[in-house]
Amino acid sequence: MKAYSISAAAALAAALGVSPAYATDYRFAVKSPKENKVVLWSTGSIDPGQEYLRAVTGTNNPGASVSDYNPGTDANLRVEKMEGVPAVIQGVPVVGPILKALGLF
């Protein structure tokens, strides 16, 4: 089942126009009345880009402000790590939750 999940993720990523690239980490500060944290995206071989991941981070954290990580002010915040193809696919606002509910991720 795991091999199928990765294949499904790769196919979906290709369909969405996500291009392969070298591994890149993106950090965003997420601040809301409920909590402050840093979301760290480690994209692995699939990199949809910083602006896409910033938008997904905002979608996944309604009511919060999302900004670029600043080590001077954000270094002590809790880090939520999103890793690899499954994280990028789960970040797709409509498709990700459906694939997760089907047990593909």
Instruction: Tell me the C-alpha distance between 20 and 37, whole Å.
Output: 28
Task: Supply the pLDDT for residue 59.
Answer: 85
Instruction: Tell me the C-alpha distance between 58 and 64, whole Å.
Output: 7
Global pTM exceeds 0.85:
no
Percentage, residues of the chain above pLDDT 70 = 60
Query: Mean of the pLDDT values across residues 19-48?
Result: 84
List the single range of 3-7, 31-35, 40-44 with lowest mean pLDDT: 3-7
Give the 3-state secondary structure percentages of the chain, helix then strand then coil, rounded to 5.
Answer: 40, 25, 35
Per the CB < 8 A criterion, the answer to whether 41 and 26 are in contact is: yes
The domain ranges of the chain are 2-101
Percentage, residues of the chain above pLDDT 90 = 35
- How does residue 21 score in pLDDT terms, banded at 50, 70 and 90? very low
| pLDDT at position 30 over 70 | yes
Q: Sheet harboring 78-83: ordered strands across?
A: 65-68, 25-31, 36-42, 78-83
